[in-house]
Structure 1
Amino acid sequence: MTMKSTPPTSSMGRLRPDPGGAGALRREFGVAHAQEMFWHWFLGCDLLHVSQKNCFEMFGATREEKAYVGPLIVFLAIMFLGQIPGWIAPRSEWWVIAKPGYWVIPLQTVIGTVLLARYWRIYQMRFPSWCGIWFATLIGALALILWIAPQQWLGFAPRLIGFEPHYFGGPDTWMYWFNLVVRFIRLVIIVPLIEEIFWRGFLLRYFVDDDFTSVPMGAFSWTSFWIVVGGFCLEHSFADWPAALLTGALFNLVAYRTRSLSACVLTHAVTNLILGIWVMRTGQWGFW
């Protein structure tokens, strides 16, 4: 959606020696993301197959297909790129390699913004009705409860390792605020837009009719429902599958109930915004 004790750091953002070393940190911080990358790329290749285009023919896709699919593919490619230095130098403690999220997330945010702006008119984002806004907000809050329930109320271990805004310094430094602001922009704006444009705007309609632009938003079929719910589940880490499965179904419900892509984006944004606030209050950085 996404998605602790603070690991030892210096004011310059380099890891101080600790019993587990950089390898242990990467096992906790990077392996989950590497697993996530596997599923992302699996889904991406499957999508290209479904679109009857192999990877080398993607640039022959229609402008609409590029608009709905391209931002997610680029988003995932950048995330995959961030894992490569760690594979080459797995023992490195340099933050660029040991904690790639601190450059991957800003890069995703900038490039994602550029791509969304380029194709914005194609998405035909329409302001939902007030009833749709309330429904989307309610479902977004309900989805948040599903995500935090295991740690908040069911006694599951807290998820403390992840993207920490204070990695390079505290609130008295500009890097803290840069990390925090960029993280929230990605979490609340870029991710909801890119994911909902793909899952609900494209795939939910594509499996009704492959000429997806002729399919009205919110058109229902059990095939498209389960494919989108399953895909949305698989793009998350294994520990998140129960919540992701239910969240995918709820977000689909918003599409069916409101017939509005912007309402789906709002639902996702509400969930992520409250999640981000909860993460800041609890220090469970592994949730985002």
Structure 2
Amino acid sequence: MENPNEATATAENSLDAATRLPNGWLSGWPWVTFILPMAVYMLVGSCEPKPPPGAGNGPASQVDVGAAESGVQNGLADSEMADEWEEMPAAGGSLFSLPYRYYPYVYTAKIVLTLLAMVLVWPGYQTFPWRVSWLSFAVGGVGVVLWIGLCHLRLEPMVVGPVDRFLGSFIPGLEEGDTPSVGLMSLLGTGERSAFNPLEHLADNPSWAYSFLAIRFLGLALLVPIFEEFFLRGFLMRFVIHEKWWQVPFGSVNRMAILVGTAVPMLMHPGELLASLVWFSMITWLMIRTRNIWDCVIAHAVTNLLLGIYVVTWDQWQLM
């Protein structure tokens, strides 16, 4: 049973964090702390090249057997095929359609700019008292198992496909044998990750390959958990409760807040709908249970760190 004194202290700290504003210019714009880093990350991320068409999410050597066989028939060496593949224009989703080989540079710029934004708003983060419970580590560990398992099931096409065909059946002029489709998965986004394996694509420059891998983990396991949880739970879930959202104690929810806390992440992970539904619901439960934003951050960080280790160890780059 929870200690009443601890529960009271938790509630008081939560209320204190909700009503306190950082000193200086951030006190006049409380939303900046929660939105700016996320906005920078998303804006720069819109410039990231995606895997080329037909590349899938696997390593370059496995992405398109047909293209590889064609290359061999034309006398192209494996290295030339890899170079040609990396120079292909990116799939839809990149603002400037940069070649795939530019991904490490764009991602690094994104992390640097996001980190600068986080430093700028750090006084706002400090208004939330730092404390962490063991439960956050447990939730993060269970979460990564569920995320990986549900992602490997690939249930999203089974869910979206029937809806796509139903909507497509209303398209005029369909002939017998046509497959009705409105391209719903394309409209939503396939949910594909960058799938960029630096140990393969940057193999000719090992120092840069491992440096970028470290940058990748910095973003995955440290920065993303902080600014994403502050945006989603520190701002958005409180914003739908009351117009003076900064006065809403952290961990307070209503039906709309719970819905937003699950639906928005699902929209951000359209190819991982089921995993997002389960995982972000778990973090919402943790938020309500502990009323501590740093528990949510730690659970997110533990999941992402273990996910990154799994990806590198088992060569599952489609998950990153």
Provide the TM-score with structure 2 as the length reference. 0.62
Deviation at 1:277, TM superposition (A): 0.5
Larger Rg over CA atoms: 2
Note closer, same or farther for the CA distance 1:161–1:282 as it changes in structure 2 (3 Å cut). farther
| Displacement after TM superposition at 1:73 (Å) | 1.3
Residues 1:126 and 2:129 are matched in the alignment:
yes
Relative to structure 1, is the Cα distance of residues 201 and 195 closer, same or farther in structure 2, using a 3 angstrom cutoff?
Answer: same
Q: CA–CA distance in 1 between the matches of 2:202 and 2:38?
A: 29
- Mapped contact 2:139–2:282 kept (Cα < 8 A): yes
SS in 2 for 1:82: coil
Partner of 2:146: 146
Deviation of 1:271 (Å): 0.3
- Name the counterpart of 2:137: 137
CA distance in 2, matches of 1:160, 1:197: 23
Q: TM-score, normalised by structure 1?
A: 0.68
Partner of 2:253: 220
| Equivalent runs, 1:40-79 vs 2, <5 Å | 63-79=29-45
Cα 1:80/1:259, change in 2 over 3 Å:
same
Which of 95, 117, 131 is residue 115 of structure 1 equivalent to? 117
Give the 3 Å change call, closer, same or farther, for CA 64–179 of structure 1 in structure 2.
same
| Residues 184 and 229 of structure 1, relative CA distance in 2, 3 Å threshold | same
Q: Does 1:168 align with 2:170?
A: no
Say if 1:105 and 1:186, in contact at 8 Å, map to a contact too.
Answer: no
Distance 1:155 1:77 in 2: 28
Task: Please say if residues 192 and 268 of structure 1, whose CA atoms lie closer than 8 Å, have aligned partners that are also in contact.
Answer: yes
Structure 1's unaligned 5+ residue stretches are 1-60
| Cα-Cα RMSD | 2.9
**Cα drift, residue 83 of structure 1:** 4.6
Kindly indicate whether residue 238 of structure 2 is the aligned counterpart of residue 205 of structure 1: yes
Runs of 4+ aligned structure 1 residues displaced above 4 Å come to: none
Query: How far 1:101 sits from its partner (Å)?
Result: 2.6
Q: Which residue of structure 2 lines up, in the alignment, with residue 40 of structure 1?
A: none
- The corresponding residue for 1:43 is none
2:229 to 172, 196, 204: 196
Q: 2-side partners of 1:253 and 1:275: how far apart?
A: 21
Tell me, in whole angstroms, the C-alpha distance in 1 between the residues paired with 2:123 and 2:112: 19
Q: List runs of 5+ in structure 2 lacking aligned partners.
A: 1-26, 54-84, 91-97, 156-191
The Cα offsets for residues 163-184 of structure 1, whole Å up to 9 and x where unpaired, read as 21211117x8211111110000
* Mapped pair 1:179 → 2:212: yes
Q: Which amino acid aligns with 1:141?
A: G
Name the aligned partner's letter for residue 141 of structure 2. A
Which of these residues, 225, 233, 245, is aligned with residue 277 of structure 2? Answer: 245
Residues in 2 aligned to 1:75 and 1:200: alpha-carbon distance in whole angstroms: 17
After TM superposition, the structure 1 stretch with the greater mean CA deviation from structure 2, 61-70 or 103-112, is 61-70
Deviation at 1:94, TM superposition (A): 7.8
Mapped partners of 2:275, 2:102: distance in 1: 26
Identity %: 24
Q: Distance in 2 between matches of 1:91 and 1:134?
A: 44
Aligned residues, how many? 217
Partner of 2:188: none
